[in-house]
Amino acid sequence: MSETIRQLISEEDVDKKIREIGEQISRDYEGRQVHLICVLKGGVFFTCELAKRINVPVSLDFMSVSSYGDDTSSSGVVRIVKDLDESIEGKDVLIVEDIIDSGRTLSYLIEVLKQRNPNSLRLCTLLDKPERRVKDVNVDYVCFNIPDEFVVGYGLDYAQKYRNLPYIGVVEL
Ligand code: 5GP
Ligand code: MG
């Protein structure tokens, strides 16, 4: 079975936007250290590029959660597959996510992390599909709002493929 990928957002546009969001985060966190929590695996490419564009001190940790029964539809069941290595107590935490769809994963994650007493907790996402929202989530930084289409690239996969594409594309079966 083979699929084709139609480009939705070019590499140049993604890079430019990440630069802008990085500058905004740098201004907002001036004088503080920002603790980035990368949501694996999809958030990895975005987290690395974003971290390079932030010019206040940055620390990093990784978490893996699973909310999907299969590749394209949400089951509503969220579980922590890999927890953080370090405590977030007293830290200025910024969750870095690839995409927010129904919002189920993030609303669960935010509740879990709030209970660990960070000094602040914010959310940054590369992509947002607002029309798909089932659970309300307050998103502080969004690079791109996109229509309700299944996208890949920049960390996002289709059956574990295409994460390495340097642009965002739509899967056409
Ligand atoms: P939510 O809990 O917000 O419905 O789901 C978020 C997760 O679903 C994302 O982190 C991502 O793993 C997956 N997801 C949602 N939409 C897409 C999409 O268009 N493409 C890919 N590859 N994954 C998606
Ligand atoms: Mg994700």
- What residue numbers bound the domain in which 72 lies? 11-147
Percent of the chain scored above 90 by pLDDT? Answer: 88
Query: Does residue 95 fall inside a structural domain?
Result: yes
The phi, psi pair for 162, rounded to 5°, reads 75, 5
Q: Does residue 64 or residue 1 have the better pLDDT?
A: 64
Q: Which atom of ligand 1 is nearest to the CA of 68?
A: 8
Among protein residues, the one with the nearest Cα to ligand 1's atom 5 is 101
Query: Does residue 15 fall inside a structural domain?
Result: yes
Query: Does residue 155 fall inside a structural domain?
Result: no
Find the CATH number of the domain harbouring 121: 3.40.50.2020
Q: Per-residue confidence at 157, pLDDT binned at 50, 70, 90?
A: very high
Query: Does residue 166 fall inside a structural domain?
Result: no
Peptide bond into 41 cis (omega under 30): yes
* Structural domain count, the chain: 1
Residue partners of 95: CB distance under 8 A and separation at least 6:
37, 39, 106, 109, 110, 113, 121, 122, 123, 124
C-alpha 55 – ligand 2 centre gap (Å): 25
Predicted structure pTM score: 0.95
Question: Is 85 a residue of the active site?
Answer: no
String of DSSP letters for 107-125: HHHHHHHHTT--SEEEEEE
Residues 62-113 have pLDDT tens digits of 999 986 555 555 556 688 999 999 999 999 999 999 999 999 889 989 999 9
Q: What pLDDT shows up at residue 19? A: 98
